[in-house]
C-alpha cells in the first residue's frame, strides 16, 4: 500500500508540473504577440473601449462616475455618457451569470453608455460608500438626475437581459417601455 501511495503521488506531481509548464510556456511563447496586443489596445479609440465593460478602481470611479470625496452633499455625475456600475466579486455565481450579458449590452450600447465593473473585494471602501450589501448590485447613473441602485438578477439570463434593457431605457435614457 505504501508503494501504491508513492506511485500515485509521483504521477500526480508529474501531471501538475506538466500543466504548470504548459501554462508558463503559453504565457511566454510569443512575446511579440503580447506586445502587439498591448499596442493594439492603446491604439483603440475611446468608443471602441466602451464596447466592453471596463474594470475601474476607486480613483477611476472618482474621475469617471462621481467624486464623492469632493461632492459630499450632492450627487454630481462626472461622466459624459450615462453608465452602469456593476459591483461584483469573482466568487459570486450570479455575478458570473450577469458578466456575458453586460458584455453583450456594452457592445449593443457602445458609444451611448459606459459599463464599469468594481470588484467589491478589492474596492471595499467604494462598496461601503454605496451601501453594497449584496452582489451583484448595479448603479444606474443617468447624465442628469440621481442614480438608481438595484441588486440581483432575474431567474434566467434572458429575463436578466430584458431587465437590464428596461432599466437602461427607463433610468438612463428616461424612455418609458411598456413592451419589455
Catalytic residues: 92, 95
Q: How far apart are CA 175 and CA 87, in angstroms?
A: 25
Residue 154, SS3?
Answer: coil
What DSSP line would sit under 47-67, residue for residue? HHHTTS-EE--HHHHHHHTB-
Q: Is the peptide bond before 136 cis (omega within 30 degrees of 0)?
A: yes
Distance CA 87, CA 50 (A): 18
Helix residue ranges, H only, the chain:
2-28, 31-43, 46-49, 58-64, 93-108, 124-129, 157-167
First to last CA, the chain: 64
Buried b (16+ CB within 10 A) or exposed e, 115-139: bbbbbbeebeebbeebebeebbbbb
Amino acid at each position: 500500500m505504501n508503494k501504491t501511495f508513492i506511485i500515485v503521488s509521483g504521477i500526480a506531481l508529474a501531471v501538475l508540473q506538466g500543466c504548470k509548464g504548459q501554462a508558463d510556456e503559453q504565457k511566454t511563447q510569443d512575446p511579440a504577440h503580447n506586445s502587439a496586443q498591448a499596442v493594439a489596445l492603446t491604439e483603440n479609440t475611446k468608443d471602441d473601449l466602451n464596447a466592453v465593460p471596463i474594470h475601474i478602481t476607486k480613483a477611476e470611479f472618482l474621475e469617471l462616475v462621481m467624486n464623492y470625496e469632493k461632492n459630499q452633499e450632492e450627487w454630481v455625475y462626472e461622466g459624459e455618457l450615462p453608465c452602469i456600475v456593476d459591483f461584483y466579486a469573482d466568487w459570486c455565481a450570479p455575478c458570473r451569470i450577469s458578466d456575458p450579458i453586460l458584455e453583450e449590452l456594452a457592445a449593443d450600447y457602445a458609444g451611448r453608455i459606459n459599463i464599469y465593473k468594481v470588484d467589491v473585494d478589492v474596492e471595499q471602501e467604494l462598496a461601503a460608500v454605496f451601501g453594497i450589501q449584496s452582489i451583484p448590485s448595479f448603479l444606474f447613473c443617468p447624465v442628469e438626475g440621481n442614480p438608481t441602485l438595484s441588486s440581483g438578477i432575474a431567474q434566467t439570463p434572458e429575463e436578466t437581459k430584458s431587465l437590464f434593457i428596461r432599466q437602461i431605457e427607463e433610468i438612463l435614457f428616461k424612455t418609458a417601455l411598456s413592451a419589455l
